[in-house]
Amino acid sequence: MESPVMLAAGILGTTGASLRRAARAGAGAVVTKSLGVEVREGHRGPTVVQVEGGLLNAMGLPNPSYRNFQEEIDIGRGGGSPVVASIFGADAEEFVEVATGLDADGFELNLSCPHAERFGAEIGCEACNVEAITRAVKRRVDVPVWVKLTPNVADVVALGLAAQRGGADGVVAINTLKAMAIDVESGRPILGNRFGGLSGPAIKPVAVRCVYDLASALDIPVIGVGGIATWQDAVEMMMAGARGVQVGTALGSGDGYGIFRSIAEGLSGYLERKGMALEELVGLARRFP
């Protein structure tokens, strides 16, 4: 990877053209919208609402099914960065069907979406499921497999260790925090799905803590995601132990796609100023017990 700054799953990953645009804008890797077995249109609107410190979303895993997505991955590869397919399923069998049905440069197992029945965090909150699904997919593909973890559990490290036992090449932390917003005029939950997942600046400290704990306990790499919008955020996440970072919600504000370059440049400038290599930054905060 040329840059440790990647496009997060679920953001601008529905079409090959937008994946390619992110890659050309400097994303070191791009992760697709999560793909499953069946075509899904997702939840009713509102699917996104702006709240204090971030966004609340409940898209509901809309996707055209992996059967209609290979062309988009191939177009996305035209941007020159690896295309990682985010995939979901109700069980190991479905995960394997999707993974073996796609030619991608890596897979990110969505075991953490907080707002879709039967999928994501509903199965990914149990360490035994995480281990079994990771192992099943790893057996059948020969590209890197990452597991994206949910923070909506008492012990995220237990999930990370399960992914590691299953043979994961890395874990991605964190998915969104379960959250809700209510319209005070009507008393109705705003999201069509009533509750959803919180992303953006508000969850960054939570993500930093999860990454710190995971990196302390795991031998495999941790990729940090959650509220990263500036190079300082990326540095902080790496100091917690992340080998790379993913950017999502921040794509919707400021200079949009320009964020990949601005974070990468800020990061290199910082390393130069400190006379450090990227590897020295990773986990730096763990030196202070």
Partner 1 sequence: MRPISARILEIVPETPTVRTLRFDHSLDPVPGQYLMVWVRGVDEVPMSISYRDGITVQLVGEATREIFDLEVGESLGLRGPLGNGFTLSGEKILLIGGGVGAAPLALLGEAAAEEGVEVSTLLGFRCCDEILFRERFERIGELVMTTDDGSQGICGRASAGLPALHLQEFDQIYLCGPEPMMADIIGRCPGMETKIQASIDRYFKCGMGICGSCCLDPSGIRVCIEGPVFRADQLVGTEFGRYKRGASGIKIERR
- Report residue 138 CA to chain centroid gap: 19
| The pairing of beta strand 106-110 with beta strand 170-173 | unpaired
Which residues in 142-181 contact partner 1 (CB under 8 A)?
Answer: 181
Instruction: Identify the sign of the CA torsion 280, 4, 199, 67.
Output: negative
Structure token digits, residue 120: 């994501």
Task: Mark 256-286 as b/e (b = at least 16 C-beta within 10 Å).
Answer: ebebbebbbebbeeeeeeeeeeeeebbbebe
Catalytic annotation present for 128: no
Distance of closest approach, residue 219 Cβ to partner 1, in angstroms: 34
Classify 72 as helix, strand or coil.
Answer: helix
Q: Are 28 and 6 in contact (CB under 8 A)?
A: yes
| Residue 65 or 216 with smaller CB distance to partner 1 | 65
| Residue 35 or 159 with smaller CB distance to partner 1 | 35
Structure token digits, residue 58: 């409940």
Distance of closest approach, residue 75 Cβ to partner 1, in angstroms: 8
Instruction: Identify the sign of the CA torsion 226, 227, 230, 232.
Output: negative
> Among 17, 90, 141, 271, which residue interacts with partner 1 (rule: CB under 8 A)?
17
| Residue 8 or 282 with smaller CB distance to partner 1 | 8
Distance of closest approach, residue 252 Cβ to partner 1, in angstroms: 4
Contact between 251 and partner 1 (CB under 8 A)? Answer: yes
Which residues in 116-145 contact partner 1 (CB under 8 A)?
Answer: none
Count the residues of the shown chain that bind partner 1, applying the rule CB under 8 A.
47
Distance of closest approach, residue 154 Cβ to partner 1, in angstroms: 30
> Among 6, 27, 28, 33, which residue interacts with partner 1 (rule: CB under 8 A)?
33
Which residues in 174-203 contact partner 1 (CB under 8 A)?
Answer: 181, 183, 185-186, 188, 190, 192
Distance of closest approach, residue 207 Cβ to partner 1, in angstroms: 18
d(CA 289, CA 285): 8
d(CA 136, CA 9): 21
| Residue 39 or 278 with smaller CB distance to partner 1 | 39
**Phi, psi (5° rounding) for residue 68?**
-110, 25
**Phi, psi (5° rounding) for residue 153?**
-140, 165
Strands annotated E in the chain? 5-7, 30-31, 48-51, 54-57, 83-87, 106-110, 145-148, 170-173, 177-180, 195-199, 222-225, 242-247
Contact between 46 and partner 1 (CB under 8 A)? Answer: yes
Distance of closest approach, residue 118 Cβ to partner 1, in angstroms: 17
| Residue 48 or 285 with smaller CB distance to partner 1 | 48
Contact between 103 and partner 1 (CB under 8 A)? Answer: no
10 Å CB burial of residue 289 (0-12, 13-18, 19+) is: exposed
Contact between 86 and partner 1 (CB under 8 A)? Answer: no
Contact between 249 and partner 1 (CB under 8 A)? Answer: yes
Binding site for partner 1 (CB under 8 A): 10-22, 33, 39-42, 44-51, 55, 57, 59, 62-65, 68, 75, 181, 183, 185-186, 188, 190, 192, 248-249, 251-252, 256
Q: Catalytic residue numbers?
A: 113
